[in-house]
Amino acid sequence: MNLKIIKNANDHAEALKRLDELFDLDPIEGSKESNELDVLALLIEQYEMEKFPIDKPTPIEAIKFRMDQQGLKAKDLVPYIGSAPKVSEVLNNKRSLSLSMIRKLSEGLDIPVDILIQDCDSLETYHDNLDYRQFPLVEIFKRGYLTNFSGSLNDLKEYASEHISDFLKKAGFNSNFQPMLARSSANLSGNSKEFDAYARLIWQAQIIHKANCLNINQEYTVGTVTKEWMQEVAKLSWYQSGPQLAIEHLKKFGITVVLEKHLPKTYLDGAVCFHNGKPIIALTLRRDTIDNFWFTLMHELAHISLHFDQNEEWFLDDLEQTCDDPREDEANALAREVLIPNNVFYNYPHTDKGISDMASHLRISPCIVAGRIRFESDNFKLFGQKFRDRTSKILKI
């Protein structure tokens, strides 16, 4: 037979007929007929795979097949799935396989991963080798980060890989999370504290989710944030509702401000990033005072003014920690100058009246003046309980 690619049903029928003839001949290995049989079988297999594809078994079908092969009972799956009730639920399609279960089943029963996982996203998550149990699952559950998740904390722990990876991807983070966990940004790069990179990453994702929910339609114009513009924003602090006024004012210029409490071992006061071409400022109110609110806000605005070119970089700021990144010194210097120019602060007041007079002259909150004096003198007990208004009370959070 003249060997050729099988293109249609007639070719297929002829090839099958010739294959039967060759089988009947029982050719010697290496003979012309034997080689023809091998090539013909391969051509037939390729044609049939294209024309008559066999569906993959479902994960449960694959598990049951292995159980039949190896003579296993449901109780033998407990080491892989976790408990007898869970095994029953899985085998009856009442519980989906978690990636943890899949990993154990694949290794223990020698079932290919691509059979147990039949969607690309889950397969990608399986291969990223990230230990999703390291994320602060209790805090994530308590704070309700996963708005579409309705299970228990134990359910979240069981399916952490699926839910956390989905949460991060929907925030626009690249599926390769390892570099993001390893990356230190802004003044965290010089931080001697032992911070939790997993908590920091999930907090960043929550900031993006909250900003998306605010859905600010105003476009941001590059170059908007200047020293003079920041000074006008700072003057809103003169009003009792200054923090809220500032947040609303920034919206008009395409800048989103998100308030989100820091997670344990993140040591964050604030952060800023560009997302979809717009700046997002995040404030934790870790130190819940008016002066801290305004300094942190100005610090993040300074980053926008001095350091951003609309890329996706993050500045994550622990303002209690010194840093070897010169950009942090630049942001601090501009924030201080915007709030209280150095030539005005040079002869700073020492009395309550002097503080109020300087604040009135600058049209800023007296809490900012008192906070600067406390910081510069390294004496945070100055002025007792005066000039210590809490931001959370004003914003009612």
Lowest mean pLDDT among 35-44, 64-73, 123-132, 345-354: 123-132
Give the model's pLDDT for residue 22. Answer: 86
Nearest to 365 by CA among 233, 184, 209, 235: 235
Distance CA 220, CA 250 (A): 10
Q: Residue 185 pLDDT more than 60?
A: no
Q: Residue 186 pLDDT more than 60?
A: no
| C-beta separation of 11 from 40 below 8 A | no
Sorting pLDDT into bands at 50, 70 and 90, what band is 141?
Answer: very high
Sorting pLDDT into bands at 50, 70 and 90, what band is 308?
Answer: confident
Q: Residue 95 pLDDT more than 50?
A: yes
Q: Residue 6 pLDDT more than 80?
A: yes
| C-beta separation of 376 from 339 below 8 A | no
The residue ranges of every structural domain in the chain are 9-51, 59-127, 132-181, 214-342
Q: How many CB atoms lie within 10 A of CB 130?
A: 19
Q: Does the pTM exceed 0.85?
A: no
Give the model's pLDDT for residue 140. Answer: 98
Q: What is the pLDDT of residues 155-165, one digit of tens each?
A: 999 999 999 99
Give the model's pLDDT for residue 9. Answer: 87
Q: What is the pLDDT of residues 75-92, one digit of tens each?
A: 999 999 999 999 999 999
Distance CA 242, CA 247 (A): 9
Sorting pLDDT into bands at 50, 70 and 90, what band is 309?
Answer: confident
Distance CA 316, CA 184 (A): 9
Q: What is the pLDDT of residues 221-250, one digit of tens each?
A: 999 999 999 999 999 999 999 999 999 999
Distance CA 134, CA 170 (A): 20
Q: Residue 187 pLDDT more than 60?
A: no
Q: Work out the angle between the directed axes of helices 227-234 and 242-251 (0-180°, nearest 10).
A: 140
What tokens were used for 22? 């060759």
From the centroid of its chain, how far is CA 298?
25
**59-127 carries CATH number 3.90.226.10:** no
Nearest to 239 by CA among 290, 274, 198: 290
Distance CA 328, CA 305 (A): 13
Q: What is the pLDDT of residues 188-226, one digit of tens each?
A: 544 567 789 999 999 999 999 999 999 899 999 999 999
Give the model's pLDDT for residue 311. Answer: 67
Query: How long, in residues, is the chain?
Result: 397
Which string of b and e fits 228-253 if b means at least 16 CB within 10 Å? Answer: eebbebbbbbbeeebbebbbeebeeb
Distance CA 342, CA 241 (A): 26
**Mean per-residue pLDDT of the chain:** 90
